[in-house]
Amino acid sequence: MKRRDALKLGFGAASATAVASQAGAVDIEQWPESAEEGLAQDGLVFPDTFQPSIVTEPSPFVEPFTAPLNIMPIAQPIDPNTFDPPIEPTRHQRFDDFSPQKHYQEVMSEFRWKYHWQPPYGDGTEGVVGRDGDPDVGSWHWGFNGITPGETYHANYGEPVFLRRNNLLPPVGAGNVQFALPSPTIHLHNGHTASESDGIPQDFFNPGEFWDYHYANFPAGSPDGWTPFNTEIMNTLWYHDHRLDFTATNVYAGFSGFYLIFDERDSNNEEDPNPLAFRLPSGDYDIPLILHDVQFTADGQARWDFFLPDGDQPNPEARPEPVDVGNSQGTPDSYDSNRLQYTTQGMVGDHVTVNRIITPYLEVERRKYRFRFLNGGPSRLYNLRLKVIPGNPRRPAYYDDWVVLSNDGNLLEAPLLQSNLKLYVANRHDVIIDFARYRRGDRIQVWNDMEIRNDGAGPTGYTLEGDDMIPVMEFRAEGRRPRDPSRIPARMRDLPEIDMSQVRRKRLFVFDYDNGLWTVNGRLMDPNRVDAKIEQGSAEIWTFRNEGVTWAHPVHTHFEEFQILEVNGRPPSAIERSRKDVVELGPGDEVTFFGRWRDFMGKHVMHCHNVVHEDHAMMIRWDIVEPGQGD
């Protein structure tokens, strides 16, 4: 009998704890009493015969690669004296230690967005997408400062940032986006950020309110300074909604964007005279790309699938009584997504969007570009291939390699050549494509060959081929080769040393599906329950185990990066041997990693980043506590 079969049969807490002990989790009870008898694998919200709308009601078709890519503008700082009310430094840990040098403000609102220029998505004016063109045409959407994704932030290490977000969304029931909840909380993924500015799920704010965020912008473990050779510097971060029970719907409604952070080596200047600088492609040649798959109604409106079986919109319902969920401002939670009765498996759209444009194209110069690929969810997983269609029809199409720079926002020790680019939800990979290697007129396309279950719970295990592959975007290499001062460095970031003498605890976390909901160690998320008390300055070894054989979990832990030690008993691969914040936990997988917790105190979370799983309710709370107060 396999280990997971024994656990399914419910041999009891003692047996489960013994298994946990073998994984090194010797000091913590991993199984609650409710798991002693085992939890039945039934209780599905919908009948087995239910089919998602990508099967029964596909989105209106558009020809791929005919709409221009949306490139988000760079956020611009403002005068802090314009804040009303003024900043309250006492609300933020170590505010005076990291006094903000730049200040920003966002307005969160509802508007129309053209996912494509062709009807029913746009007004029919060729090439007009996004907020341009007829203001009364497009899908109702949420976003930051009138766009989606939000503006791209350019930040620098040693340059702390203050950001105020104002919620001007319509109240529940008054807006046009009916499936989401207008009380967001915005997480900087995976910023080294104090709890009160981390955008944890409890810290939502309602229409007419604002929330202030303080981003200290220093490498983990180095608040008092660092050298250009610091091993814990990140580069590609992103921000997104994290509202308790409504993360999936709120991100889907439009709340995501990029936060890029630079230092002396990754300096945002491809002509940097500093001999230590990497001189990676910069400016117009450094382009962030966020993938969201979306499902649309016949009239071109973004829809949240798996509505009630009668087809009604899943309008959020009020709880009988508001509940205290530990919001830092004391705001109770009045809405519960579990009352909506949509599926807990996942959400899959049949149109892949890049920067919220359906399968766009980008005209590029024949030189090197840096592209920052991000899977923004909610549930689809990708395996991206780079397909070259020669301009000369007598030359056959072929697949080219990616030059991979980073994993989860962390530059690798050296660039890697990869034939594929695997992206679980929230994964990021920076890549370089050198279009000088292609001929004028060649089209370089991105396709996805990973098939996922229609219910969004995980991959089918099959690879898509030929016409069954899913189009993502196209690059068009035109013109003569321009001057290109950028470089592909032979060596980038060294990894931090792993010091096992710092390890205080080892913990096992088991990800499972019980009675129609998603659990961690047999429990559902309770924001007022502390599942792990981690002593500040310590290190721990965590093991993640996927008990399912047909679903996948991209598991994200906030605040600190980690380094993988083992994947299913083997050493990490070249691409896995990096600093990361997401574990790609495929069916039956078990992954062990080393992590540290430093610099700030307070509460954070770890959760599945298939955000439908997170909302129902695959997440734990962990706190950084004073030495001597850990569990």
Handedness of CA 353, 355, 356, 357 (dihedral sign): negative
Using DSSP's 3-state secondary structure scheme, residue 207 falls into coil
Q: Cis (ω within 30 of 0) for the bond into 574?
A: no
- For the residues of 565-594, what is the DSSP string, one character each? EEETTB---TTTSSEESEEEE-TT-EEEEE
Q: Would you state the pLDDT for residue 306?
A: 63
Per run of 10 residues, the mean pLDDT along the chain (length 631 residues) is 34 32 40 44 53 86 97 98 96 95 98 97 96 96 97 97 98 92 96 95 97 97 91 97 96 98 97 97 98 96 72 75 93 83 85 98 97 97 97 93 97 97 97 96 96 92 94 93 96 95 96 90 95 96 94 96 97 95 96 96 97 95 96 93
Q: Tell me the CATH class for 3-38+495-625.
A: mainly beta
How far is the C-alpha of 290 from the C-alpha of 219, rounded, in Å?
24
Cβ neighbours of residue 443 under 8 Å, at least 6 residues apart?
65, 388, 389, 391, 474, 475, 476, 477
3-38+495-625 and 351-477: identical CATH topology? yes
Pairwise CA distance, residues 90 & 97, whole Å: 12
Residue 627 zone, left/alpha/beta (φ > 0; ψ -120 to 50; rest): beta
The bridge status of strand 302-303 relative to strand 286-296 is antiparallel
CA pair distance 268, 407, nearest whole angstrom:
18
8 vs 320: CA distance, rounded Å: 34
Contact 46, 69 (CB under 8 A): no
pLDDT at residue 47, rounded to an integer: 59
Residue given tokens 């009604």 in the structure block: 312
402-407 vs 318-323, strand pairing mode: unpaired
Identify which of 591, 363, 351, 608 has the alpha carbon closest to the alpha carbon of residue 476.
Answer: 363
What are the sequence ranges of the domains in the chain? 3-38+495-625, 351-477
In this structure, are strands 351-354 and 357-358 parallel, antiparallel, or unpaired?
A: antiparallel
Residues 6+ apart with CB under 8 A from 282: 268, 269, 270, 370, 486
Count of CB atoms situated within 10 Å of the CB of 283: 11
- Strands 450-452 and 459-463 turn out to be antiparallel
Q: d(Cα 391, Cα 379) in Å, to the nearest integer?
A: 35
Q: Reduced to 3 states, what is the DSSP secondary structure of residue 500?
A: helix
* φ/ψ bin of 453: left (φ > 0), alpha (ψ from -120 to 50), beta (otherwise): beta
Q: Please report, for residues 218, 229, 277, 282, 569, the alpha-carbon distance to residue 263 in angstroms, rounded to integers and kept in the order given.
A: 10, 10, 9, 13, 36
The pair phi, psi for residue 68, each rounded to 5°, is -70, 145
CB 67 within 8 A of CB 361: yes
Residue 445: the pLDDT is 98
Fold of 351-477: Immunoglobulin-like (2.60.40)
